[in-house]
Amino acid sequence: MLEILGDRFTYAVILVLMMVGLYAVIATGNLVKRMVGLSIFQTSVFLLYIATAKITGGAPAIFAYSDLAAGTIPDDAVYANPLPHVLILTAIVVGVATLAMGLALVVRIREVYGTIEDDELSEIDHDDELKKGV
């Protein structure tokens, strides 16, 4: 058990983060905290991708200038996979945009409703509907 954990420590951390984030989204009624949970959840996925890019003993995928000039890139050179990093850069941008959009909505909800607690919001929504007879 411990060996497996030691072997796959990164994945264990990612899994814990993922569950913490998802739990926070579901369990909290505060909209800002919900956004925080969502961000943690997304970040854990970023880590999942980045963790797969790492290859033991691998260097960044940049050729040494001397090798490039001489045209002798060693056959046994081990490089980390750069693609996941690029993907995650894009995903981070998407995550930031989602967070910004979510927080902007929370600000507007606070202005219009005067609260950002989910249970109070649904109560107000319910009263609204009753008033309109919907």
Q: Interface residues with another protein (CB under 8 A)?
A: 22, 25, 31, 34, 38, 41-42, 45, 48-49, 52, 83-84, 87, 90-91, 94, 97-98, 101-102, 105-106, 108-109, 112-113, 121-122, 125, 128-129, 132-134
Let me know if 53 is exposed, middle or buried by CB neighbors in 10 A (0-12, 13-18, 19+): middle
Which tokens sit at 25?
Answer: 């989204």
**Residue 41 · residue 73 · CB < 8 Å:** no
H or E element at residue 37: helix 31-53
H or E element at residue 26: helix 9-27
Bridge partner list, 18: none
Closest to another protein by CB, 67 or 129: 129
CB of 7 to another protein, least distance (A): 16
Closest to another protein by CB, 80 or 106: 106
Closest to another protein by CB, 64 or 108: 108
CB of 61 to another protein, least distance (A): 14
